[in-house]
Amino acid sequence: MAGFGELRHYPQFDTQVSACEHGPVNPTRESIEAYYRGLQSDLCDRLAQLDGGAGFGVDEWIRPDGGGGTTRVISGGDLFEKGAINVSAVYGPIPAQLGDKIGAVGAQFFATGISMIFHPRNPFVPTMHANLRYFEIEDGTAWFGGGLDLTPYYLFEDDAEHFHTVCKQVCDRHEVAGYTTMKRACDSYFYLSHRGEARGIGGLFYDRHAVDLPDQFVFQQELGDSLYESYAPIVERRRDTSFSEENKRWHRVRRGRYVEFNLVWDRGTRFGLETGGRTESILVSMPPEVSWEYAAVPELGTAERDLLDVLRGEPRDWAT
């Protein structure tokens, strides 16, 4: 297989997605994967430096039905208890469940993407998740999707405002992106209906954006390039905050909600497990330590209850 950071050569479909009618040439599979791999390398370098105590390992893997990926994991760091950035590029006959859903049973497909998750050691530093993806079918249908979201364990309004403001600034520079629509989609998606609470304070979420693929790719690249900016200043503000065992207990309880969402509601996790995806790369998003306590509702007037009240209330507009 291709070495670390190298692109693979993919079989070509009979019908290629090569150009918009009377418009600029569409991005190629190779250029999209190359961007994801470059972003993975850049973020691993910058976040390892930010951590200061650990680096990202490299695990190359092959998908038996076509393609593969690179999973890079950091663990036991000074800052990150666990984190991962995964890039994949896979192809072949479309999985039956997906084919049924999108009306492409028996078609050939190509998909590439980057996904990441960071679980900090300090409960005052939020978890951040993001993914960017591209999907193509042999009939020429293609689209982009992705997003990012923030999951705090203690609410700091200036952190939420910073995260959402960076998201909005990127969206506002592109006609193919709408902050309000993507923000609402994120609030709707990352919601634990069995708990009646949001997973976190949201961000952006979008899927199957197929109009103007060249501009979609430009937007996605700028969104990817903004990920460090959206998260690192928050990390630097909170990483040295002192914490107690009670703070860590709450941290583990809230991480349990994260696990519940991923295993019960997340479409990507469920689809991957149901269709024979690479289990280690799918479940790398799980936090290393969690707990479930019966009726773990904090007392009124506590910082823990303040967070819970926000997560159980109507989504707030954070961007400034």
pLDDT at 38 over 70: yes
Contact 182, 163 (CB under 8 A): no
3-state DSSP assignment of residue 310: helix
Return mean pLDDT, the chain.
Answer: 92
The number of beta carbons lying within 10 Å of the beta carbon of residue 96 is 11
pLDDT at 15 over 60: no
**Residues constituting the chain:** 320
Residue 202 has what DSSP assignment?
-
Q: How far apart are CA 55 and CA 286, in angstroms?
A: 19
* Residue scoring higher pLDDT (63 or 18): 63
Look up 164 and say whether it is catalytic.
no
The continuous run of DSSP H or E covering 6 comes out as none
**Mean pLDDT score, 37-60:** 98
Q: How confident is the model at residue 11 (pLDDT cuts 50, 70, 90)?
A: low
Q: How confident is the model at residue 9 (pLDDT cuts 50, 70, 90)?
A: low
Contact 84, 285 (CB under 8 A): yes
Q: How far apart are CA 289 and CA 312, in angstroms?
A: 24
Q: In which region does residue 103 sit, left (phi positive, over 0), alpha (psi from -120 to 50) or beta (all else)?
A: left
Q: How far apart are CA 98 and CA 89, in angstroms?
A: 17
Contact 199, 258 (CB under 8 A): yes
Structure pTM?
0.91
Contact 129, 105 (CB under 8 A): no
- Indicate the domain borders of the chain: 29-312
**Which pLDDT does position 107 carry in this prediction?**
86
Q: How far apart are CA 145 and CA 182, in angstroms?
A: 11
Strands 191-192 and 108-120: unpaired
pLDDT at 5 over 70: no
Contacts 24+ apart (CB under 8 A), 9-14: 10/67, 10/89, 10/91, 10/110, 11/91, 13/108, 13/110, 13/136, 13/138, 14/138
Q: How far apart are CA 44 and CA 38, in angstroms?
A: 10
Query: Any alpha helices (H) in 121-156, and if so which ranges?
Result: none
Query: Catalytic residue among 119, 129, 164, 251, which?
Result: 129
Amino acid at 74: I
**Which pLDDT does position 119 carry in this prediction?**
99
Q: How far apart are CA 262 and CA 268, in angstroms?
A: 9
**Which pLDDT does position 19 carry in this prediction?**
42
Residues above pLDDT 90, as percent of the chain: 81
Give pLDDT tens digits for 62-90: 999 899 999 999 999 999 999 999 999 99
Q: Which two tokens stand for residue 312?
A: 């159980």
pLDDT at 3 over 70: no
Give pLDDT tens digits for 138-170: 888 999 999 999 999 999 999 999 999 999 999
**Mean pLDDT score, 204-217:** 96
> Please, what is the angle between helix 227-238 and helix 157-172, to 10°?
170
Strand 127-137: give its sheet, edge to edge. 59-62, 67-75, 80-93, 108-120, 127-137, 142-151, 203-209
Q: How far apart are CA 199 and CA 285, in angstroms?
A: 14
Give pLDDT tens digits for 212-223: 999 999 999 999
Fold of 29-312: oxygen-dependent coproporphyrinogen oxidase (3.40.1500)
Q: Which two tokens stand for residue 135?
A: 């999907």
Q: How far apart are CA 240 and CA 243, in angstroms?
A: 9
